Amino acid sequence: MINKYMVIGNKKNEYLNKILSMAPFFILLISMIILHRFEKMQPGDDYWFQQIPPKYTFFKYVEWRYFDWSGRVSVESVLYFIFKDSGELWKIINPIVITIFAYAISRIVLGRKEYQDRKNILLNSYICVGWLFISMAVLKASIFWMTGSINYLWPVTAGLLAIIPFRDALMKEYKGKISMVLYLLPAIFAAFGQEQTTLVIVAFSTLINIYIFIRDKKIYKYLIFQNVIMIIGAIVILLAPGNFNRNHIEMNNWLPNYLLYSKWEIGFYGIQWLFNNLLNDCRVIFMLLIAIVSIALYRKNNNKIRKKISVLIPIAACILIIVGILFSLNNVIPKPIIEKINFPADYNIIWSNLSNIFFDFNLPFSLSVKSALKFFLWSVIVVLIPYFILYLYDFKIKGFYTALIYIAGICTAVVMFLSPTIYVSGQRTLFVLATLFFLTFIIILKDQKYLLKKRYLILFIIIPIIKYIFILEYLIHIK
- The per-residue pLDDT for range 417-431, each reduced to its tens digit, is 887 777 777 688 899
Least confident of 204-208, 276-280, 327-331, 334-338: 334-338
Please choose, from the candidates 402, 339, 460, the residue with its C-alpha nearest in 3D space to the C-alpha of residue 167.
402
Contact 179, 168 (CB under 8 A): yes
Please, which residues have CB within 8 angstroms of residue 454's CB and are 6 or more apart in sequence? 122
pLDDT band at 334 (very low <50, low <70, confident <90, very high): low
Half-sphere exposure for 353 (CA within 13 Å, toward CB):
5
> How many angstroms separate the CA atoms of 178 and 88, rounded?
33
> Mean pLDDT in the chain?
86
Ranges assigned E (strand) in 332-447 = none
Contact 324, 416 (CB under 8 A): no
| pLDDT score for 231 | 97
- Give percent of the chain with pLDDT exceeding 90: 50
| pLDDT score for 66 | 94
Contact 205, 409 (CB under 8 A): no
| pLDDT score for 9 | 47
| pLDDT score for 367 | 62
Please, which residues have CB within 8 angstroms of residue 219's CB and are 6 or more apart in sequence? 209, 212, 213
The H or E element spanning position 103 is helix 88-114
446 pLDDT exceeds 80?
Answer: yes
Please choose, from the candidates 127, 76, 139, the residue with its C-alpha nearest in 3D space to the C-alpha of residue 100.
127
> How many angstroms separate the CA atoms of 137 and 428, rounded?
8
459 pLDDT exceeds 70?
Answer: yes
> How many angstroms separate the CA atoms of 367 and 155, rounded?
39
DSSP three-state, residue 281:
coil
> How many angstroms separate the CA atoms of 143 and 427, rounded?
11
Burial annotation 231-246 (CB, 10 A radius, 16+ → b, else e) = bebbebbeebebbeeb
Indicate the pTM of the whole model.
0.92
> How many angstroms separate the CA atoms of 196 and 431, rounded?
10
Please choose, from the candidates 400, 375, 387, the residue with its C-alpha nearest in 3D space to the C-alpha of residue 307.
387
Ranges assigned E (strand) in 329-464 = none
Quick one: residue 46, left, alpha or beta (phi over 0 = left, psi -120 to 50 = alpha)?
alpha
Contact 138, 430 (CB under 8 A): yes
| pLDDT score for 195 | 93
> Tens of pLDDT along 44-102?
899 999 999 999 999 999 999 999 988 999 999 999 999 999 899 999 999 999 999 99
5 pLDDT exceeds 50?
Answer: no
| pLDDT score for 145 | 93
- Identify which of 42-46, 154-158, 261-265, 358-362 has the greatest average pLDDT: 154-158
How far lies 320's CA from each of 279, 290, 297, 377, 380, in Å?
10, 11, 18, 11, 14
Rg (CA), the chain: 23
| pLDDT score for 401 | 92
Eight-class DSSP state of 319 = H
Contact 151, 428 (CB under 8 A): yes
> Tens of pLDDT along 24-48?
999 999 999 999 999 889 888 999 9
| pLDDT score for 306 | 53
| pLDDT score for 340 | 65
| pLDDT score for 335 | 62
Please, which residues have CB within 8 angstroms of residue 386's CB and are 6 or more apart in sequence? 403, 406, 407
pLDDT band at 332 (very low <50, low <70, confident <90, very high): low
> How many angstroms separate the CA atoms of 409 and 405, rounded?
6
> How many angstroms separate the CA atoms of 433 and 272, rounded?
16
- Give percent of the chain with pLDDT exceeding 70: 87
> How many angstroms separate the CA atoms of 2 and 449, rounded?
36
308 pLDDT exceeds 80?
Answer: no
Ranges assigned E (strand) in 260-369 = none
> How many angstroms separate the CA atoms of 474 and 477, rounded?
5
115 pLDDT exceeds 70?
Answer: no
Contact 94, 214 (CB under 8 A): no
Please choose, from the candidates 80, 51, 50, 81, the residue with its C-alpha nearest in 3D space to the C-alpha of residue 65.
80
